[in-house]
Amino acid sequence: MVFGPFLTDGYTVIVPDIEGQRADFGAGPEYGMNTLDSIRAALSDKSTLKLPGNAKVAMLGYSGGALATEWAAELAPTYAPDLNQRLIGAAMGGLLVHPAHNLHYVDGSLGWAGVMLMAFVGISRAFNVDFTPYLNANGVQLFNNMKTKSITDVLGHYPGLTWKKLAKPQYPTPESIPLYVDCVNKLIMGTGGHPDNATKPTKPEMPLFIGQAAHGEIEGTPASKEYGPGDGVMIAGDVRTLALSYCERGNKTIWYEEYPDLSHIPASVFPWLPRSIAWINDRFAGERPPQNCSEIKKGNKLDPIKSGHGGILTARSR
């Protein structure tokens, strides 16, 4: 359904293994580099694909795919300058902008709570660290079970799961684990993978189409008192801030849409997908990219988190 229209129109479609062979779930910079490496490999293939030397590339991704798409767009100027000039646009929806925020947002939720564990497994693999010393017996068992799970095995399978049910009492919030803080701050979109870049952040140089739903109650996740509404797993205020920050840094080809009546899964099918496909077709046709920077409302701060016991616990946590 996603690739059909492009294949029908004669495009070459690249589907990268964004998580890598270790399945480093949620490791955004790695997703981005894997994506850029896959594009580079396809363009270099002279035996099968034989793409023209001036071939242009657009990227498309939702949810986990958006994690790869945004990070690829963000890292392209520095990690793959040879590709950057050939990237004509990136369409993404349902973005994991600030993972530490999302961990609190899904805490205790009905459908997405298990993502907390998937994130910790992915971070531990990506950074080669061990979080099990901070978990209680239940947390260790679930953590080990999660190592072989996919997102389909998690969504809706851990209703009401909270951080307190996973961690030892001396670690009342994820922020009370300095190792976690150090790792997760490297995963904030807009920083190029390094929290020290907060004062000199990177930005994609290509046009972006960004869509984000904001009615997560449909999927069992109430709006956060701290971060506002999301789509059930991603936070709309974080995504708005990311989009607006790129506008403010000089990229005036940003188009942002918010879907206030939809949640994560329905929004991916309609309206995001057909609108993204149309937007990408316009980029290949050479149409001038639309932008609505002046209409994007302010969102949440995306500052790196600090170590301590004062992390936010949602009203659902118990």
84 and 210 fall within a common domain: yes
Largest CA distance in the chain: 59
**What's the CA angle centered on 30, arms 24 and 35, to 5 degrees?**
110
Q: Is 316's pLDDT higher than 90?
A: no
156 and 227 fall within a common domain: no
**pLDDT computed for residue 95 by the predictor:** 98
63 and 211 fall within a common domain: yes
DSSP H stretches of helix in the chain: 4-8, 28-44, 64-79, 81-84, 99-106, 115-127, 137-146, 178-184, 236-248, 264-267, 273-284
Cα distance between residue 224 and residue 218, in whole Å: 14
Are 84 and 231 spatial neighbours (Cβ–Cβ below 8 Å)?
Answer: no
Confidence of residue 313 (pLDDT cuts 50, 70, 90): very low
Cα distance between residue 213 and residue 144, in whole Å: 32
DSSP 123: H
166 and 218 fall within a common domain: no
Confidence of residue 197 (pLDDT cuts 50, 70, 90): confident
**pLDDT computed for residue 311 by the predictor:** 43
60 and 130 fall within a common domain: no
DSSP β-ladder status, 208-213 and 57-62: unpaired
DSSP 258: E
Kindly give, in sequence order, each residue whose CB lies less than 8 Å from that of residue 222, ignoring residues fewer than 6 positions away: 109, 216, 315, 316
Q: Where does a domain end: 160, 186, 212?
A: 186
141 and 280 fall within a common domain: no
87 and 211 fall within a common domain: yes
Q: What CATH number is given to the structural domain containing 116? A: 1.10.260
The two structure tokens encoding residue 115: 């993502």
pLDDT tens readout for residues 95-139: 999 999 999 999 999 999 999 999 999 999 999 999 999 999 999
| SS3 state of residue 295 | helix
pLDDT tens readout for residues 220-270: 999 999 999 999 999 999 999 999 999 999 999 999 999 999 999 999 999
Whether the link from the prior residue into 271 is cis, omega within 30° of 0, is yes
Q: Which helix (H) or strand (E) holds 303?
A: none
Range of the domain at 150: 100-186
pLDDT tens readout for residues 135-188: 999 999 999 999 999 999 999 999 999 999 999 999 999 999 999 999 999 999
Confidence of residue 2 (pLDDT cuts 50, 70, 90): confident
DSSP β-ladder status, 254-259 and 208-213: parallel
DSSP H stretches of helix in 80-136: 81-84, 99-106, 115-127
**What's the CA angle centered on 277, arms 202 and 64, to 5 degrees?**
55
Please report whether residue 318 resides in a domain.
Answer: no
**pLDDT computed for residue 194 by the predictor:** 73
Q: Is 310's pLDDT higher than 50?
A: no
Please report whether residue 131 resides in a domain.
Answer: yes
Q: Which helix (H) or strand (E) holds 259?
A: strand 254-259
Q: What CATH number is given to the structural domain containing 271? A: 3.40.50.1820
Cα distance between residue 309 and residue 173, in whole Å: 6
- Residue with tokens 């017996």, as numbered in its chain: 137
| Mean pLDDT, all residues of the chain | 93
Cα distance between residue 159 and residue 237, in whole Å: 24
Kindly give, in sequence order, each residue whose CB lies less than 8 Å from that of residue 25, ignoring residues fewer than 6 positions away: 19, 118, 119, 121, 122, 125
DSSP 11: -
Please report whether residue 198 resides in a domain.
Answer: no
For the chain, the residue count is 318
Task: Give the total number of structural domains in the chain.
Answer: 2
